Amino acid sequence: MNAPEKMPERTAAKPAAGVSHFHESARAQVAGGATYVDDIPEIRGTLYAAPILSTVAHGRLLGVDATVALTMPGVRDVILARDIPGDPVLGTSVHDEPVFAQDIVQHIGQVVGVVVADSVMQARRAARKMTCHIEAYPAILNLHDALNAQSYVLPPVFISRGDAGAALKQAIHSLRGTLEVGGQEHFYLEGQVAYVVPQEQHQWLIYSSTQHPGEVQHWVAHALGIDQHAVRVECRRMGGGFGGKETQAGHMAVWSAIAAYKLKCPIKLRLDRDDDFMITGKRHPFAYEYTAGFDDTGRLTGLKLMMAANCGFSADLSGPVADRAVFHADNAYFLQDVEIASYRCKTNTQSNTAFRGFGGPQGVIVIETILGDIARHLGLDPLAVRRRNLYGVDERDVTHYGMKVEDNILEPLLSRLEETSQYQQRRKTIFDWNARSPVIKRGIAITPVKFGISFTATVFNQAGALVHVYLDGSVQVNHGGTEMGQGLNTKVAQIVADELGIAFDQVLSTASDTSKIPNASATAASAGTDLNARAAQFAARKVKDNLAQFVAKLDGCGAAAVRFEGGQIITPLTARGFTDVVRQAHAHRIQLWSDGFYRTPKIHYDKATLSGRPFYYFAYGAACTEVALDTLTGESRVLQVDILHDVGTSINPAIDMGQIEGGFVQGMGWLTTEQLVWSDKGQLTTHAPSTYKIPTSGDIPEHFKIDLWPEPNREDNVFGSKAVGEPPLMLAISVYEALKEAIGAARPGLGVMLTAPATPENVLNALGRA
What is the DSSP secondary structure assignment for residue 485, as one 8-state letter? S
Strands 440-453 and 617-630: antiparallel
Q: Could you give phi then psi for residue 537, rounded to 5 degrees?
A: -60, -40
Radius of gyration of the chain (CA): 27
Q: What 3-state class would DSSP assign to 283?
A: strand
Report the DSSP beta bridge partners of residue 154: 344
Cα angle 265-267-271, degrees, rounded to a multiple of 5: 170
Which one is catalytic: 246, 368, 715, 726?
726
> Rounded CA gap, 647 and 713, in Å?
8
Number of C-beta neighbours around residue 768 at 10 A? 11
> Rounded CA gap, 742 and 630, in Å?
9
Cα angle 461-466-472, degrees, rounded to a multiple of 5: 150
DSSP structure string for 52-114: EE-SSSSEEEEEEE-HHHHTSTTEEEEE-GGG-SS-SB---SS---BSS--SEE-STT-EEEE
Q: What 3-state class would DSSP assign to 736?
A: helix
| Closest among 405, 488, 462, 396 to 25, alpha carbons compared | 488
Q: Residues with Cβ < 8 Å from 559, sequence gap 6 or more?
A: 545, 548, 549, 552
Cα angle 714-720-732, degrees, rounded to a multiple of 5: 80
> Rounded CA gap, 500 and 502, in Å?
6
> Rounded CA gap, 707 and 643, in Å?
6
* Sign of the four-CA dihedral 722, 725, 727, 732: positive
Residue-wise burial string across 9-26, b where 16 or more C-beta atoms lie within 10 A, e elsewhere: eeeebeebbbeebebbbe
Query: What is the end-to-end Cα distance of the chain in Å, rounded?
Result: 63
> Rounded CA gap, 360 and 291, in Å?
21
8 A C-beta contact, residue 568 and residue 548: no
> Rounded CA gap, 134 and 734, in Å?
46
8 A C-beta contact, residue 185 and residue 279: no
Q: Could you give phi then psi for residue 760, rounded to 5 degrees?
A: -55, -40
Q: What 3-state class would DSSP assign to 449?
A: strand
Amino acid symbol at 689 = P
Q: How far is CA 676 from CA 245, 544, 670, 753, 763, in A?
A: 19, 52, 10, 19, 16
Number of C-beta neighbours around residue 501 at 10 A? 19
Can 711 be counted among the known catalytic residues? Answer: no
Q: Which positions are annotated as active-site residues? A: 726
